[in-house]
Amino acid sequence: MPTTKIDFLELIKNRKWRVLKRSLRNLDAIEVANLIESVSKNDKIVFFRLLSRAQTKKVFKLLPHSEQEEVIEGLAENFQKLTRLLNDIEPDDRTAFFEELPGDIAQRLIQRLSPEEQKITIQLLSYPKDSIGRLMTPEFVAIKADMTVAQAFDHIRKFGQDSETLNVIYIIDEDWKLIDDISIKELILAAPDQLVEELIDYKFTSLNAMDDQETAIIVFKNYDRVALPVLSKEGVLLGIVTFDDIMDVVDEESTEDFHKFGSVQNAITNPLKERIFNLYKNRIVWLVLLVFMNVFSGAALATYEDVIQSMVSLVFFLPLLIDSGGNAGSQSATLMIRYLALGEIQISDWYKLIGREVLVSFLLGVTMAASIAAVASFRAPEIILVVAIAMVLNVMLGSLIGMLLPFIFTKLKIDPATASAPLVTSLSDICGVLIYFSIAAKYLGF
């Protein structure tokens, strides 16, 4: 049996299809996905065509979106294989794939679906982007409260084959409104003739289909569930969201925030496969904007040209001071963005945090001022007081800028991650220059 990528490629080269097919079926889905990601586009399609139907569904889900597109494109001429794949994919995974495609391509692929799967897909795609409705799957098992446990298991055996999870069973009324949910463990341990309604307490946690996906992240974190029901505003059970779907969202949100915090416009999955122009385009806009912002720092320096000429040693400490303010601001912004994303603080808490941030940043500033004063005592003892006071004020102001920007962006309905490190640093630099030379000018009598 082949054990390496080279062994598998050798089988393709020698056209040993039966051996290759048998070898692929001895691998688990993760191993196959890793193999497919590591080979050329043509070889990907060869591997994919030789997978069993069950493997095809599992492996496709594990591939990044760019790899999924290559597979779909490569299978375009194999009508039967492509149609079967599109119909087999879990509805929530299929929706996630379609929403990243151009509209015309998504429409063409939707036409390949069976009438039932078309209806499900169109319904899920009708929910707003990044809503919980886009994330849910309608494949779950629901039972009635007046069933016995034995009847409930008969129902589960009949309809549970395609359910995304059987860990939790949902109890509904005649109008499909959710009454409660129950773990499969509780049903197993109950007597067969016991009524389901005797096992429930009519208390449950649910999600709204129209809420943002970040809400689901917070609810899963707080309640530690493997799956949660998704309801309409009338309380009708529409679908469920599972923990693995939420982990995908967490990964996407973290990647997106990371890129934004680095002033990169759009997330890039793999820089080795991305076009050079796209890499350039993703980074240039913010860099140009920040260049113009930093012009203000230059203008501030020009304003204090006389002060600099009278005390050249001031220039030595300038990078230390403005970098310290920027670093403190970036640190503060990172913490606030993280707390907001996890729901540990709300936008209304901003005023409660100001006092704490002022005190913390003052202590940080004093500590750093002591360090820079020690340097100044050797390099320029005549301006120890200037650099020490400037350090305290720069660190405090930078920290407050970093703390408040995420709240301001959230209030303006902008992703708080946009209050990125370069933006905070640029603002802190401008303010730092003004503070430092204003203090120096006053101290030197200008």
Same domain, 105 and 32: yes
Domain boundary among 196, 218, 242: 242
Tell me, yes or no, whether 184 lies in a domain.
yes
pLDDT in tens, 189-229: 999 999 999 999 888 999 999 988 888 888 888 888 888 99
Same domain, 308 and 412: yes
| Structure confidence at residue 32 as a pLDDT band (50, 70, 90) | confident
Same domain, 178 and 53: no
**Domain that includes residue 33, residue range:** 5-126
What are the helix and strand counts (H, E) for the chain?
21, 6
Same domain, 297 and 428: yes
Q: What is the pLDDT of residue 219?
A: 86
Cα–Cα distance, 216 to 246 (Å, whole number)? 7
- DSSP annotation of 308 reads H
Q: Which of 282-286, 308-312, 373-377 has the lowest mean pLDDT?
A: 282-286
Mean pLDDT across 3-22: 80
Same domain, 295 and 404: yes
Same domain, 113 and 160: no
pLDDT in tens, 240-257: 998 888 887 776 665 555
How many structural domains are present in the chain? 3
Q: What is the pLDDT of residue 311?
A: 79
Tell me, yes or no, whether 256 lies in a domain.
no
Tell me, yes or no, whether 47 lies in a domain.
yes
Whichever domain contains 100, its CATH number is 1.25.60.10
pLDDT in tens, 384-410: 999 999 999 999 999 999 888 888 888
Q: Which of 50-59, 182-191, 243-252, 424-433 has the lowest mean pLDDT?
A: 243-252
Contacting residues for 295 by C-beta, under 8 A, at least 6 apart: none
| Structure confidence at residue 144 as a pLDDT band (50, 70, 90) | very high
Tell me, yes or no, whether 248 lies in a domain.
no
Q: Considering only CA atoms, which of 254, 68, 100, 240 is closest in space to residue 160?
A: 240
| pLDDT of 47 above 60 | yes
Domain boundary among 67, 91, 126: 126
| pLDDT of 231 above 90 | yes
Tell me, yes or no, whether 270 lies in a domain.
no
Q: What is the pLDDT of residue 263?
A: 45
CA dist list (Å): 229 to 78, 128, 233, 243, 355: 37, 18, 13, 12, 40
Same domain, 212 and 288: no
Q: Which residues pair with 144 in a beta bridge?
A: 172
Same domain, 228 and 86: no
- Mean pLDDT for all residues in the chain: 83
Tell me, yes or no, whether 266 lies in a domain.
no
Cα–Cα distance, 299 to 146 (Å, whole number)? 77
Whichever domain contains 208, its CATH number is 3.10.580.10
Same domain, 373 and 293: yes
Tell me, yes or no, whether 259 lies in a domain.
no
Ramachandran sector of residue 260 (left: φ over 0; alpha: ψ -120 to 50; beta: rest): alpha
CA dist list (Å): 414 to 184, 283, 351, 386, 406: 42, 19, 20, 38, 9
CA dist list (Å): 186 to 36, 156, 240, 366: 41, 14, 20, 59
Q: What is the pLDDT of residue 351?
A: 81
Contacting residues for 329 by C-beta, under 8 A, at least 6 apart: 398, 399, 401, 402, 424, 425, 427, 428
Q: What is the pLDDT of residue 282?
A: 65
Q: Extract the tokens encoding 353.
A: 């945090």
Tell me, yes or no, whether 75 lies in a domain.
yes
Whichever domain contains 373, its CATH number is 1.10.357.20
pLDDT in tens, 62-103: 888 888 888 888 887 777 888 888 888 888 888 888 887 877
